[in-house]
Amino acid sequence: MMDESEFEKEGLESEANLNEVAGSYCPNNKSETEINQRPDTAYKYPPRTREAQEEARKVIESMEGVISKKSSPAVNVFTHQDGRISVGLSGNVASEKFQNNREKLQQVLDKKYGYGKYSVCDKTLGEEDGVAQIDGGNMPGACAEPKCAVSASEIDSPITGMSTQWRGKTANPHAYSGPNKDEIKEYISTEMNPCDTCSDKYNEEVYMKKAMKAMKAMKAMKG
């Protein structure tokens, strides 16, 4: 079982057009000085793993013919100890098209792998949750990571790993450069670092506090 303090900071995703897809204006930008003054946090992304990477590829394969690469160019998954998978897609959750696509993908995954194995989130974390847009990063809520965090918050099993995979038509805009590169080398060309918004340590804390909500509640119940 992975303790909260054992989570290592990793990277995630972004694409230049995500802000265009989700809306380009966010007044909550933070300066580099403000970012550097923030304390470190124990709430960090889980490690990149081959298992998570393989699960992300299964989701991507299931998206073919269901969701266009332009609509959701990136996918984030968290694996859980009990075998369930949290899934987040990049894109605008306020869009009817996004919600229709998400529902169709959920149905495909349920049919292929069994009901409840994968949970594709229909919500995200944004400014109202304390997520700040960082200069050069996507607007809060646009990326796959915050959606995956919300999905994970409803699963009471410890998170064991993660992967963020690029499926866009263009080359991977944020090639992964963090730890575990040898372990995940099979799909390393499509593994992603975070955008500046999602890599900000304060936003990372917001995401991971949310992601571990159900797990922490279960621990509290058990005493």
Q: What are phi and psi of 32, to 5 degrees?
A: -60, -35
Q: How confident is the model at residue 128 (pLDDT cuts 50, 70, 90)?
A: very high
pLDDT of 33-58, one tens digit each? 444 444 555 789 999 999 999 999 99
The answer to whether the CB of 149 falls within 8 A of the CB of 208 is yes
pTM: 0.81
Identify the CA nearest to 212 among candidates 89, 10, 75, 45: 45
In whole angstroms, what is the distance from residue 138 CA to residue 122 CA? Answer: 19
pLDDT of 144-189, one tens digit each? 999 999 999 999 999 999 999 999 999 999 999 998 888 899 899 9
DSSP 8-state symbol, 4: G
* ∠ Cα 67 72 77 (to 5°): 100
Domain boundaries, given as residue ranges, for the chain? 4-222
